[in-house]
Each structure stands twice: as structure tokens, then as C-alpha cells.
Amino acid sequence: MPNARLEQLSKLGTSVWLDFIQRDLMSSGKLRELIDEDGVVGLTANPTIFEKAIVGSDLYDSTIEREVKAGKGEDEIFDAIAYEDIGAACDVLRPVYDKTDGRDGYVSIEVLPELANDTAKTIEAAKRYWNAVSRPNLFIKVPATEPGIPAISTLLGQGINVNITLIFSIERYREVMNAYLEGLETLSKSGKPIEKVASVASFFVSRVDTAVDKQLEAKIAAGGDDAAKAKALLGKAAIANARIAYEEFKKIFTGDRFNVLKAKGARVQRPLWASTSTKNPAYRDVVYVEELAGPDIVNTMPLATIEAFADHGVAERRIDKDVAGAHQVMKDLATLGIDMDEVTAKLEEEGVASFTASIVKLREALAKKKEMLLQAARK
């Protein structure tokens, strides 16, 4: 029996996806249970999630040993692990994909973040992942860096599903939506069907509050005329930023350009709220789920946030509530000298760096395991 709170969230048009992967999630039946009981209809993973899963357990030792015996290097070992886990998750979620006619049921795998500033290599890696996993309910995650934008339109133009990740700014989000439309237009001109191509735009939330609140807290500590204004804005930037992004989404996907593609069967590129666990314990633990709920939305959450919402979340359409107030928040931040363009540019840079660091740590851990296995084989 599905959880009533999560079921109501789904009825609003917000799809619940799980932001986590680990091998026993599929093998134990836990993912199937989350689908049946919590209404989970998708799964996302990133380099940090994989690094924690692989380094923090012995679930992958047999695969690592097999690949080491085959003479594979660290990146090839990681690819083998990722293909197996992502493929298994795709298979568990395939009935959801079929039942929803391709609206949900997707699993995401991310190209290596160190390629984020190389368009050609991003395209090459994405195509390799797409062909290796070979499931229609696969998303290839591509960071929304400046060099990532042309990679996104190219991949979509070849019929590859893309989850665009690490979006923080409204301007970058507009570029992402434009890349989606360009990709579908290219695919349509080639005479290929566009109705099965899917994409989501992963717009990050809580990290925005973390960054902006830090600046606001400095102004509060400094005292003076700005202190009270700063205090009133704590915890407001992320939700305001996302509400304005949703306003842009509605403009683009009710516009003439998209309507031409819609007539040929194109789907909207839904915004996916990412980083929706609450980082500040002073804030409600489900605030980014409650305040950003509404139609044509995906919210990917860690398990703890899904469980919290199942326990005490309130499902109401709030995503387009007081959009004028969201714009006012941005104006008020600007009057305090907080430059959102600078904030979001830095967050993008830090996001790529953080995921890259996770891959470096993973490689180091795999190298150690590989050496241990080779030493044991020599004895």
C-alpha cells in the first residue's frame, strides 16, 4: 500500500526519485519495495554516491577481483561496476517506465566530471555509457557547464536521453532548455522520431541556501542597518531561485517553439530539484520538497528525506505560489550586495570540483584494492 503523503505528492505531478545507489539496493529487493510502498519512480546517482558505495562496502569485491584478473585499470573497473549497478536498477524500474509510457522509471549515470569542460570527450563518454548499458530508461548525466551545453544538444540530437546536472543559475537554465529544444529540432530534421527522447534539468536547491546564508550571517554578525534585512532573508534564496526557474520552465514549454515539437510528440523537459535534503538543522527537514511541489516536476531525494516526507510531509501545490515574492527576494539580496550570478557560478565550479574529487578518491581506493589482490595472487 503506497504511503499516503508520497502518493499525494505524486498526484500533484511531482515524481519522487531516489538519490542513491548501492548494489544491494537492487539485489535485496529494497528498490522494488520503495517503488511499491513509497511511490519511488526513478533513481539518480553521481560520482560521490558511487564513491561512498564502493569504498564503504565489500559488495563490489567480486567484480573488482574479476576485472583485476582481466587486467583492467581503475577507470575500467569503475565502468564495469557502474554498468552492472545502473543496468540492474534500470531493470527494476523498467515496469514503471512502461506503465508511465516513458515519463518515469529512469536511472541516471554521470559522465566523469573531469570531462565537464571538454565538449568532445563528454559526447564520447556519454555515447559509450549509452551503448554499454543499452536500456531505454537510462539517463546520461551531463554537467551544465558552458562546454556541456553543446554536448547536451548534440546527444539529444542523436536520440540519447540526457539528465542535465549541476544547474544553479536561471541564465544557465535557459541555456539548458534551449539546448533541449535544439537537440529535438536536430533529431526531427533527421527524420527520426522524437517522442521517446527524454530529458530532465537538474536544478540544485539547498546548496544555494548554504552559500547565500553564509554571506547573510556575516552581515548579521557585522550589525548595522543591514543586519535585520539579512536575518529576514535567511533560508529564502534557494526556494526563490527555484520558483523563478519554474516560471521560466512554464514560459518555454508553453511557447510557440516547443509547441511545434509537441505536435510531433515531444515531451517537456521537466525540472528536477536536486540537493533537496535540508543542510541547515534550523530549517524544516522537508522544506525543499514541500515548497517546490507541483505539476511537471521531479524531486530526487536521499532515502532519509523520502522517509521524513512519508512521516510528516505536506503535499500542496506551492511551486508557483508567490512568484512575485521570489523576485523580491532576489532584489533584496542584490540591495545587500549579494551577487547571485557570482554565487551560482561559484557553486557550479565547486560542484564539478567536488564530484571530481570523489572520482579521484575512488580511483585511489580501487588502486589499493587492485594491488592487494595482485599481491595475494603472487603468493
The residues annotated with a catalytic role in the active site are 141
Query: What is the DSSP secondary-structure string of 41-84?
Result: EEEE--HHHHHHHHHT-STTHHHHHHHHHTT--HHHHHHHHHHH
Backbone angles phi, psi at 3, to 5 degrees: -65, 130
Contact in structure between 33 and 2 (CB atoms under 8 Å): no
Residues 6+ apart with CB under 8 A from 112: 47, 75, 125, 356, 359
Backbone angles phi, psi at 289, to 5 degrees: -85, -45
Residues 6+ apart with CB under 8 A from 22: 53, 57, 59, 85
- Give just the sign of the alpha carbon dihedral 110, 112, 118, 121: negative
Contact in structure between 280 and 305 (CB atoms under 8 Å): no
Backbone angles phi, psi at 291, to 5 degrees: -75, -15
Contact in structure between 308 and 5 (CB atoms under 8 Å): no
Pinpoint the alpha helices (H) of the chain: 4-11, 23-27, 30-38, 47-55, 61-69, 74-99, 119-133, 148-157, 170-189, 206-222, 226-233, 237-252, 256-262, 287-290, 303-312, 323-335, 340-378
CA distance 261 to 186: 11
